């Protein structure tokens, strides 16, 4: 990214985020109609009662005004909600994970952005012409490959599902206001005092029940309270029918577009002691409201939602229709599954237990001190590059895991905005950009022991592989395996999407190869052989098969190697051959085939042999150019002033290992202009360092996003440079995050774009400074575990508990005064024996070979 979006060329001054300093004098703020909102001027600011003593949460002294800057997110993967933290009125913005405009629901002829089958011959001719032009070019590049691209058609967008409006019939001054998001509970809270009563509202989304709930209580009894729904606030969402399913249940039924996907939400209201009734207002479309009367002390609504989208119907057998049943029966069953007799406290307790299980397997301590006297907006406002603040960084780490656990556990993976998105046309469609963004979303999942990847792999299996096999056939004349390009929706978009600078963005058939790194890693971390055989290996084999057929003998350099043609670095020209990014990735892909073959149960040794033969012959994508850089392209044409946001050719540094664990015996040996070259690891690392320095700090002329800084931070950590790591990490936090700690693509905009990748990438980058165990080319190569490789002085004492590393190991690590004091390794009950070296500083402090249930503890450093 970006494509077709404006981004600021000249940064404007930082937004005047509302500060909550204790001496701040409040003026009266108009809030929700006639109600006057005020906070007491003289009261010392402190975290609200009930806020975690550890500081693990976000809190504020005023309601949120701007969605991407202030609202607080909750979600269970299936549903998501953004809460502003209102008082008499709460206007909660809603999402359903599969609610997308576009696709076959808009256009029955939608075919995933592919050419037609009868264009196969035409594509083969066009492809051959482009390839020949690249071979013959004196610099190995051409201007465009436009004939291969297709109009995105009904590509669609992830969209908002409208708003839930909860209104108390109450006026008067608001005092003692606070709102917060508790990251241990995954509950958003609001408390305030008004008209002599103390009010509390809580919102959460429960994974076990697939429902979200909002509960309100008051010390003085609730005044008449209503729950209504609005689509009109959600820009572009067609007006749904809102009816009463029964006297306590609101039914919202609408379409994502005209025409578009059908969705349904049901919201059931309960109250201890109150009377609940539902009434429909007359108008062009029915609009029901639920009222609670009788001054009960509490009331709550639980809502569920679904669409007619079906992941299982995205293949040829179903005509790629993605058509499922009317969602009514399924959502009604879910609603009935949230026990009608259960007290709210039971729903809440089940949610707390579930959330603790998903995030609780891992903890991080950075020696931080919770700053309970400073609200989160003031903390982020005071944050400075390089100086940093371990408490804030710890919060970002936990928040990233919170956001992933709250958005990825549905049927679809976390998209560009997790699952939180507004309106019907989201930036980059709120889709799955797979040239860094989708990957970064999952950077921390394996090591921080989050069991959240199931939807990712199933989404790839069910929406990428089936249509991607057609793309392989039609666009590349390859009849085994499958391919995707850069941008994927939920409707099997696998074609090469046309648009401005189309090739720069769309010419990316390595997207699925990169995602196979995640597939391999999941097996390497978990040793889950049943999963590997059923899902992981078939995915890997499909992608590797495609790339076997796509590699070609290099007829430009004539050095006898196999290369890709055409290729370009993600979002960057030239269009050329043998791109470093592609070659490194495909080499890693082929290694994963060899490492995973034995466990796969596959007897296709001809396939394995072909992979090994072509791997030996392929260009490994590692060349050192005229200014000492690691070349991005096979021709030595990198520009020293190229500060592009992507670090594509450094993929082997992080998150890959082609550079980080370079082995000259496997990757060495180049013929350049007739001379034989064989780099050492030191030379390759030095060249990568030079390239990283020249790429700048992630404030390119092309974008100022958070993810490019998170990626740089992770790379500097890999290079064991704690100063540069902390500089990039703190710079990202300083520059790219709002008061609600959302990652902002265009931080200086008044209403900036939320893009979740940097939120989810930061935990991965932070882990990489504390504990590294990058992949290796073979199962017999030692896994090198480096302790505290890039520890900033700000984090001089701390601990990690429950980190997973590859080889099926769990690691606990403690450190003091910048040095480890103890590390233990627990090997899973069933593993393949792997050699391991434990390194601190430049010293190998232990070596061992894994065996089932081995425990290894080291305390001498």
| CB nearer to ligand NAG: pick between 150 and 230 | 230
Q: What are residue 819's DSSP bridge partners?
A: 816
Give the CA distances from residue 273 to residues 145, 276, 344, in Å, rounded to whole numbers and listed in that order: 68, 9, 13
CB of 261 to ligand NAG, least distance (A): 10
Q: By beta-carbon distance, which residue lies closest to ligand NAG?
A: 669
Cα 822 from Cα 813, distance rounded (Å):
6
| CB nearer to ligand NAG: pick between 18 and 262 | 262
CB of 451 to ligand NAG, least distance (A): 4
- The candidate with the shortest Cα–Cα distance to 859, out of 842, 830, 838, is 838
Assign 554 to helix, strand or coil.
Answer: coil
| CB nearer to ligand NAG: pick between 333 and 693 | 693
| CB nearer to ligand NAG: pick between 670 and 800 | 670
Cα 708 from Cα 704, distance rounded (Å):
8
Cβ-Cβ contacts under 8 Å for 377 (sequence gap 6 or more): 17, 18, 19, 20, 60, 739
CB of 91 to ligand NAG, least distance (A): 9
Q: DSSP assignment, residue 161?
A: -
CB of 645 to ligand NAG, least distance (A): 13
CB of 565 to ligand NAG, least distance (A): 15
User: Please, are residues 159 and 93 in contact by the beta-carbon 8 Å criterion?
Assistant: no
Nearest 10 degrees: Cα torsion 805, 808, 812, 816: -40
Assign 430 to helix, strand or coil.
Answer: helix
| CB nearer to ligand NAG: pick between 343 and 616 | 616
CB of 48 to ligand NAG, least distance (A): 28
CB of 169 to ligand NAG, least distance (A): 4
Q: Are strands 57-60 and 187-194 parallel, antiparallel or unpaired?
A: unpaired
Cα 244 from Cα 761, distance rounded (Å):
43
| CB nearer to ligand NAG: pick between 166 and 193 | 166
Give the CA distances from residue 675 to residues 554, 560, 683, 687, 745, in Å, rounded to whole numbers and listed in that order: 17, 14, 17, 19, 46
**E strand or H helix that includes residue 680:** none
| CB nearer to ligand NAG: pick between 21 and 36 | 36
Residue 4 has a CB neighbour count (10 Å cut-off) of 11
Residue ranges in contact with ligand NAG by CB under 6 A: 116, 118, 121, 124, 165, 169, 224, 228, 230-232, 239-241, 253-255, 287, 289, 385, 451, 454, 477, 636, 639, 641, 664-665, 668-669, 672-673, 678, 693, 696-697, 699, 701, 721, 723-724, 731
SS3 content of the chain, % helix, strand, coil (to 5): 30, 25, 45
CB of 241 to ligand NAG, least distance (A): 4
CB of 204 to ligand NAG, least distance (A): 19
- The candidate with the shortest Cα–Cα distance to 578, out of 137, 72, 259, 17, is 137
| CB nearer to ligand NAG: pick between 356 and 672 | 672
| CB nearer to ligand NAG: pick between 34 and 232 | 232
| CB nearer to ligand NAG: pick between 74 and 88 | 88
| CB nearer to ligand NAG: pick between 341 and 675 | 675
- The candidate with the shortest Cα–Cα distance to 135, out of 688, 530, 552, 703, is 552
Task: Pinpoint the alpha helices (H) of 42-95.
Answer: 67-70
CB of 529 to ligand NAG, least distance (A): 14
CB of 697 to ligand NAG, least distance (A): 4
String of DSSP letters for 219-278: TT---SEEEEEESTTSTTPPPPEEEEEETTEEEEEEESSSS--EEEEEEEEEEES-EEEE
């Amino acid at each position: 990214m970006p494509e077709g979006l404006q981004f600021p060329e000249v940064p404007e001054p930082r937004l005047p985020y509302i500060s909550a300093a204790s001496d701040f004098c409040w003026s009266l703020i108009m809030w929700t109609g006639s109600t006057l909102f005020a906070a007491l001027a003289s009261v010392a600011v402190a975290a609200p009662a009930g806020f975690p003593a550890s500081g693990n949460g976000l809190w504020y002294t005023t309601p949120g005004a701007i969605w991407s800057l202030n609202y607080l997110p909750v979600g269970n993967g299936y549903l998501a909600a953004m809460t502003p933290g209102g008082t008499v009125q709460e206007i909660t913005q809603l999402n359903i994970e599969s609610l997308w405009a576009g696709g076959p629901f808009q256009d029955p002829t939608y075919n995933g952005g592919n050419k037609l089958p009868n264009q196969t011959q035409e594509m083969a001719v066009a492809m051959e012409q482009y390839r020949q032009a690249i071979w013959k070019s004196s610099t190995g590049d051409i201007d465009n490959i436009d004939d291969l691209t297709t109009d995105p058609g009904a590509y669609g967008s992830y969209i908002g599902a409208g708003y839930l409006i909860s209104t108390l019939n109450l006026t008067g001054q608001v005092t003692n206001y606070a709102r917060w998001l508790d990251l241990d509970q995954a509950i958003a809270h609001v408390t305030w005092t008004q008209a002599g009563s103390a009010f509390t509202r809580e919102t959460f989304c429960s994974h076990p029940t697939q429902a979200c709930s909002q509960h309100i209580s008051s010390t003085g009894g609730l005044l008449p309270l209503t729950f209504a729904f609005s689509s009109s606030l959600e820009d572009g969402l067609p007006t749904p029918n809102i009816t009463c399913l029964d006297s306590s249940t609101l039914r919202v039924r609408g379409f994502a577009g005209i025409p578009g996907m059908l969705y349904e939400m049901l919201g059931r209201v309960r109250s201890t002691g109150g009377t609940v009734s539902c009434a429909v207002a007359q108008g062009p479309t029915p609009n029901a409201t639920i009222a609670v009367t009788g001054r009960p002390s509490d009331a709550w609504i639980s809502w569920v939602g679904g669409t007619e989208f079906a992941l299982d119907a995205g293949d040829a057998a179903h005509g790629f229709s993605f058509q499922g049943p009317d969602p009514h029966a399924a959502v009604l069953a879910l609603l009935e599954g949230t026990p009608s007799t259960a007290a709210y406290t039971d729903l809440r307790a089940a949610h707390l237990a579930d959330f603790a299980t998903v995030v609780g397997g891992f903890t991080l301590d950075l020696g931080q001190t919770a700053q309970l006297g400073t609200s989160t907006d003031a903390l982020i406002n005071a944050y400075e590059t390089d100086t940093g603040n371990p408490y804030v960084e710890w919060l970002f780490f936990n928040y990233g895991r919170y956001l992933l656990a709250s958005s990825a556990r549905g049927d679809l993976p976390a998209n560009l905005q997790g699952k939180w998105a507004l309106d019907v046309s989201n930036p980059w469609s709120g889709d799955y950009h797979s040239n860094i963004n989708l990957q970064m979303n999952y950077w921390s999942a394996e090591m921080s022991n989050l069991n959240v990847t199931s939807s990712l792999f199933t989404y790839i299996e069910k929406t990428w592989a089936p249509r991607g096999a057609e793309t392989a056939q039609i666009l590349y004349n390859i009849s085994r395996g499958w391919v995707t390009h850069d941008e994927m929706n939920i409707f099997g978009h696998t074609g090469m999407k046309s648009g401005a600078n189309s090739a720069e963005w769309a010419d990316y058939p390595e997207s699925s190869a990169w995602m196979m790194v995640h597939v391999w890693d999941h097996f390497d971390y978990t040793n889950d052989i049943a999963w590997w055989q059923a899902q992981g290996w078939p995915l890997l084999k499909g992608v590797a098969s495609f790339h076997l057929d796509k590699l070609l003998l290099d007829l430009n350099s004539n050095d006898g190697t196999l290369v890709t043609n055409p290729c370009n670095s993600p979002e960057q020209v030239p269009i050329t051959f043998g791109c470093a990014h592609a070659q490194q990735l495909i080499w890693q892909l082929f290694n994963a085939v060899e490492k995973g073959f034995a466990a796969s149960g596959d007897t296709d040794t001809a396939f394995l042999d072909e992979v090994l033969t072509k791997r030996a012959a392929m260009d490994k994508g590692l060349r050192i150019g005229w200014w000492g850089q690691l070349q991005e392209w096979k021709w030595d044409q990198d520009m020293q002033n190229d500060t592009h946001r992507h670090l594509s050719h450094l993929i082997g540094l992080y998150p890959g290992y082609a550079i980080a664990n370079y082995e000259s015996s496997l990757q060495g040996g180049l013929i350049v202009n007739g001379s034989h070259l064989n780099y050492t690891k030191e030379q390759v690392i030095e060249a990568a360092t030079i390239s990283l320095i020249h790429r700048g700090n992630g404030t390119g002329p092309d974008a100022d996003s958070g993810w490019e800084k998170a990626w740089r931070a992770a790379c500097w950590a890999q290079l064991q440079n704690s100063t540069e790591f902390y500089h990039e990490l703190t710079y990202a936090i300083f520059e790219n995050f709002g008061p609600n700690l959302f990652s902002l693509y265009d931080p200086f905009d008044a209403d900036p774009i939320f893009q979740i990748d940097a939120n989810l990438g930061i935990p991965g980058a932070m882990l990489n400074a504390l504990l590294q165990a990058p992949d290796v080319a073979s199962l017999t190569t030692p896994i090198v575990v480096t302790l505290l490789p890039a520890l900033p002085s700000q984090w001089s004492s701390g601990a990690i508990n429950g980190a997973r590393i590859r080889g099926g190991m769990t690691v606990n690590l403690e450190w003091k005064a910048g040095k480890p004091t103890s590390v233990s390794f627990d090997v899973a009950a069933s593993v393949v024996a792997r050699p391991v070296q434990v390194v601190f500083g430049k010293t190998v402090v232990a070596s061992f070979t894994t065996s089932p249930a081995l425990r290894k503890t080291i305390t001498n450093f």
